[in-house]
Amino acid sequence: MRGLLVTFEGCDGTGKSTQISLLVRRLRDLGYRVFATREPGGTPIGEAIRSLLLDRDGPERTALAEALLYAASRAELVRKVLVPALYENQFVVVERFTDSTLVYQGIAGGVPIEEIEEINRIATGGLSPDLTILLDADDLSEIDRRIRSGRAKDKIESRGRAYQARVRDGYRSLARRYPERIKVVVPSGSPDEISDQVLALVLARAEEVFTREGGKAPVAGQPKGPGFQKGPCEPGGPGRLEVMKLIVAVVQDKDVPKLMEELVKAGFTATKLASTGGFLREGNSTFLIGVEENQVERVLDVIKKTCRSREQLVTPVTPVGPGESYVPYPIGVIVGGATVFILNVDRFIKI
């Protein structure tokens, strides 16, 4: 497994969401594949836990119960989202991770650190960030203003200045404990100026990681090495890739907008062919999706959940006139309201 796992930490109101958005955009502009998510959340179970934990009017609970709820969300996220994305050689960016639990429920909440570390170990299966960006707030005035005005966004923010100060001090203690992994960025200056610092740290760490592991460090705009190959159909990808499968999906036109949206959200690139009659019947659209073998099931899952317009099969039309010919594609899997062909591809050449 190799991608690069980058986490963002810091007190509420330090601009984590803004900096993540800027980092994702800038990395994609450089040609890299990027996946971003948040904690708690990122999965159906995680989002349900998030609603429970952050609801300002939700039930009171002990810090240990809170830590276990965060861990439950994290366990789902790691196994169902983060690890698959890392196997797909992506930059994976997460707003909050294990350090948040160490600080909020451990240092600030009073749960013994060794217990939090064991909970985190079980939840993550040992997965650790390659780099953590800590946005360190000297000034807690923004959170003060939210609390005084009743605008605190959630239950955690509403806990008062003393709690937030313990959180800030806890993060600083972690940064001193793990200086190689946790890099402190003071959020002063414009968002773009802060983003310059963050991007430099991320690219430097990527080069360190891949040099250390024997791969060639990625070059901006020309990703190389085991962690940064582009997807088989993405612009700017290498001339030859280890593309294992070509998925050909024939779907109803009414399903096209939603399917394209869901494929993009899942990180896949698809080409839609126009309907011309014959095999490409009117009312049907055909998608071409190039993926590695371990990505096939994820694409099929997207199609199955999205294409609900019909249940009958689309049967290729037999040639009826002289000169007509059709490639005898083997049917691999039929899902939902689509017909899907899965073809082996020996190589992919960008022309």
In a domain, 93, yes or no: yes
> Are 201 and 249 in the same domain?
no
Tally of structural domains, the chain: 2
Residue with tokens 């600083």: 172
Structural domain includes residue 45: yes
103 and 174 assigned to the same domain: yes
Q: For residues 86 and 202, state if they share a domain.
A: yes
Whether residue 226 is contained in a domain is answered as no
Q: What CATH number does residue 287 fall under?
A: 3.30.70.120
Which pLDDT score, from 0 to 100, does residue 177 have?
A: 96
Please state which of the ranges 47-51, 95-99, 124-128, 312-316 shows the lowest mean pLDDT. 312-316
Whether residue 49 sits in one domain with residue 120: yes
pLDDT at 221 over 70: no
Kindly give, in sequence order, each residue whose CB lies less than 8 Å from that of residue 28, ignoring residues fewer than 6 positions away: 34
Q: Do 101 and 31 share a structural domain?
A: yes
For position 230, what pLDDT does the model report? 34
pLDDT at 45: 94
Q: What is the DSSP string of 299-319?
A: HHHHHHHH--S--S--PPPPP
Residue 168 falls inside a structural domain: yes
**Same domain assignment for residues 254 and 191:** no
Based on the domain organization, do 31 and 121 belong to the same domain? yes
Q: Is the pLDDT of residue 281 over 90?
A: no
Q: Is residue 227 situated within a structural domain?
A: no
| Domain final position from 196, 212, 228 | 212
Q: By CB neighbour count within 10 A (0-12 exposed, 13-18 middle, 19+ buried), where does 142 fall? A: middle
| 239 part of a folded domain | no
Say what the pLDDT of residue 67 is. Answer: 97
> Does the pLDDT at position 333 exceed 70?
no
Are residue 252 and residue 205 in the same domain, yes or no? Answer: no
User: Is-above-0.75 flag for pTM?
Assistant: no
> Stretch 271-293: mean pLDDT, rounded?
69
Determine, yes or no, domain membership for 117: yes
Say if residue 349's pLDDT is above 60.
Answer: no
Q: Give the domain CATH number at 104.
A: 3.40.50.300
Q: Give a yes or no: residue 81 inside a domain.
A: yes
Percent with pLDDT over 70 in the chain: 73
- Residue range 114-133: mean pLDDT, rounded: 97
- Band of residue 287 on the pLDDT scale cut at 50, 70, 90: confident
| Residue 5 pLDDT exceeds 90 | yes
Containing structural domain, residue 125 = 4-212
Helix (H, G, I), strand (E, B) or coil at 1: coil
43 backbone dihedrals φ, ψ, rounded to 5°: -140, 165
Nearest to 317 by CA among 279, 284, 283: 279
